Amino acid sequence: MHFLQDPEAELIAPTLYTTEEAAARLGPQFKPSTLRRLAAARKVDVALIGRKYWWTDDQLAQVVEVSTRPAAKKTGSRPSRSHSTSTSVSDHRTSVELLRPDPGGRYGKRAS
């Protein structure tokens, strides 16, 4: 099979970055371990040459896109926490049996 190729045209290879260089290029919020984890989970495209990951600018843009969370939807005002007025503290105390200490303590003799 023969491909037509312009002999005058230069082949432009994309710039490749190591994982450490890519993390430094993205900024302090991205660590090399984060990039490795995303690549291992196949959440982003990455070139694997030998045993190392190599990143292009397009792939770094994909990392930022995958790592971006959507903005939270505003639902209006938060519901207020109101306490029920039908029960009072004294009502709760009458329905709960109070704990009494065991005579003899923790390791002492128990009453038989």
Q: Please write the tens of the pLDDT for every residue from 91-112.
A: 555 667 777 776 776 666 655 5
Global confidence as pTM = 0.53
Q: Compute the distance between CA of residue 109 and CA of residue 1 in angstroms, rounded to an integer.
A: 97
Helix (H) or strand (E) holding 38: helix 32-40
Full residue range of the structural domain in which residue 46 is found: 19-67
Q: Whose CA is closest to 44, among 60, 24, 23? A: 60
- 98 lies in some domain: no
Residue 98, pLDDT score:
74
Number of domains present in the structure of the chain: 1
- 87 lies in some domain: no
pLDDT band at 73 (very low <50, low <70, confident <90, very high): confident
Chain centroid offset of residue 38 CA: 11
Task: Count how many residues are written for the chain.
Answer: 112
Q: Residue 37: helix, strand or coil by DSSP? A: helix
- 83 lies in some domain: no
Given a cut of 70, is residue 17 above it in pLDDT? yes
